Chains A and B, each alone.
Chain A
Amino acid sequence: MNVSDLKISEDLVLVSFLEHKDALLKTDRILFSFCGENTMVKADEVAQEIETFLLNQGVSKKIVRAFFSILIEGIQNVRLHGEPVTKYERNAFVIVGQKGDYFLTTANMVKIDQVEKITAKIKLLNQFNYNEVKEHYMNILTEGSMSKKGGAGLGLITLYSKSKNKLEFEFKPVDHEYSLFVLKTTLNTMSYEKNDLRRDA
């Protein structure tokens, strides 16, 4: 079955998942992939497996640590903030891989009225330099309150600050109620290798 056949099946999550996987070249590596219900993917298990794999490959601890945090925050976001929509067979996907740098692509459904808010949040983050993101983090840490599900409102900030890269995202309308939020976090490996821990941009 290829992507174009699936478009007719109207399974947007699966189509989008396969499009992202198809975009990878043979030289790129997929370390983990999942497509299904958002509540089924376990952040700690995925992160710990990939951590062991990368350490065994001789990847530096600094890079592994940063990527571990990205995996935990990114996948926990899918579980915590993804709408557990059951009218579709699949409502989320996760791809972890290496395309030059290590990346995490996640997708989960959000209510349409959240699209504007999330877009503004990411656009704001993507403009921040090191000092600005730090100030933003400290403000939310000290002023913000925790959600009932245990979210601290710091997940996206952590993805941005640990990856030392802009967050890439898109929304794909699912129906009149939901949109698929696709988020790609790519770890800027070079900045860790250069020991450049202060973002200058």
Chain B
Amino acid sequence: MENLRIEGSPKTPSVTFSIDGRMEIKGRSIPENSIEFYKPLIDWVESYGQVAKPSTEIDVQLEYFNTSSSKCILDFFKKLETIHSAGKTNVNINWYYEQDDEDMLEAGEDYDAIINIPFKMVELDEN
């Protein structure tokens, strides 16, 4: 299996998933139909589950995401939860939010409440 790398665009975040157990999603996620964008990410995690390192760290640094993405992000986390619960790897999610962006912090807390994976909320300094 190979690493997954997707360049960011004005509508979609950049994605860097590495089989060494580091994953990053960064940018804006506002496509009208998010399924198309998130399906390869979810499929990648499924395959990764077979070859996963003992520990997996995911950085999620989103500036905006629309409601279409919110559902897909949940499905992505659910897939991670599956491999985490099956004992294939120990997953940790770092959820980044800009200082002052309480809505983004709250969105992270919402996912934390739904998903059974440790979440760490990380505040970024505003430029």
CB atoms of A48 and B10 under 8 A apart: yes
Q: Tell whether A115 is near chain B: CB-to-CB under 8 Å.
A: no
Closest to B12 in A: A44
Closest to B99 in A: A61
Q: Tell whether A68 is near chain B: CB-to-CB under 8 Å.
A: yes
Beyond A69-B64, A76-B32, 14 additional contacts (C-beta under 8 Å) are: A44-B11, A44-B30, A47-B30, A65-B101, A65-B103, A66-B103, A68-B64, A76-B66, A146-B72, A151-B67, A154-B67, A154-B70, A197-B102, A197-B103
CB atoms of B71 and A146 under 8 A apart: yes
Identify the A interface with B (CB < 8 A).
Answer: 43-44, 47-48, 61-62, 65-66, 68-69, 72-73, 76, 79-80, 138, 141-142, 144, 146, 149-155, 157-158, 162, 197
**List of A residues within 8 angstroms of B98 by Cβ:** 61
**List of B residues within 8 angstroms of A76 by Cβ:** 32, 66, 68
CB atoms of A44 and B68 under 8 A apart: no
**List of B residues within 8 angstroms of A138 by Cβ:** 110, 113-114
CB atoms of B66 and A141 under 8 A apart: no
**Per-residue 0/1 for B30-46: is the Cβ within 8 Å of any A Cβ (1 yes, 0 no)?**
11111110000000000
CB atoms of A73 and B66 under 8 A apart: yes
CB atoms of B126 and A61 under 8 A apart: yes
**List of B residues within 8 angstroms of A73 by Cβ:** 66-67
**List of A residues within 8 angstroms of B72 by Cβ:** 146
Mark out the residues of chain B between 33 and 75 whose CB falls within 8 Å of any chain A CB in the assembled complex: 33-36, 64, 66-68, 70-72, 74
Please pick, from A65, A142, A151, the residue contacting B64 in the complex, using a CB distance under 8 A.
Answer: A65
Identify the B interface with A (CB < 8 A).
Answer: 10-11, 30-36, 64, 66-68, 70-72, 74, 98, 100-103, 110, 113-114, 126
Q: How many A-B residue pairs have CB under 8 A?
A: 70
Please pick, from A68, A146, A158, the residue contacting B35 in the complex, using a CB distance under 8 A.
Answer: A146
Q: How far is the CA of A43 from the CA of B32 in the complex (A)?
A: 9
**List of B residues within 8 angstroms of A43 by Cβ:** 30, 32
**List of B residues within 8 angstroms of A66 by Cβ:** 103
**List of B residues within 8 angstroms of A48 by Cβ:** 10
Q: How far is the CA of A66 from the CA of B126 in the complex (A)?
A: 17
**List of B residues within 8 angstroms of A65 by Cβ:** 64, 101, 103
Q: How far is the CA of A183 from the CA of B100 in the complex (A)?
A: 29
Please pick, from A47, A149, A152, the residue contacting B67 in the complex, using a CB distance under 8 A.
Answer: A152
Q: How far is the CA of A61 from the CA of B126 in the complex (A)?
A: 10
Please pick, from A47, A61, A152, the residue contacting B100 in the complex, using a CB distance under 8 A.
Answer: A61
Q: How far is the CA of A80 from the CA of B33 in the complex (A)?
A: 9
Q: How far is the CA of A79 from the CA of B66 in the complex (A)?
A: 14
- Given A44-B11, A197-B102, do A152 and B71 touch, yes or no (CB 8 Å)? yes
A-B contacts, 20 listed (Cβ < 8 Å)? A43-B30, A44-B11, A61-B98, A65-B64, A69-B103, A72-B66, A76-B68, A80-B32, A138-B110, A138-B114, A141-B74, A146-B71, A149-B32, A150-B33, A151-B67, A154-B67, A154-B71, A157-B67, A162-B103, A197-B102
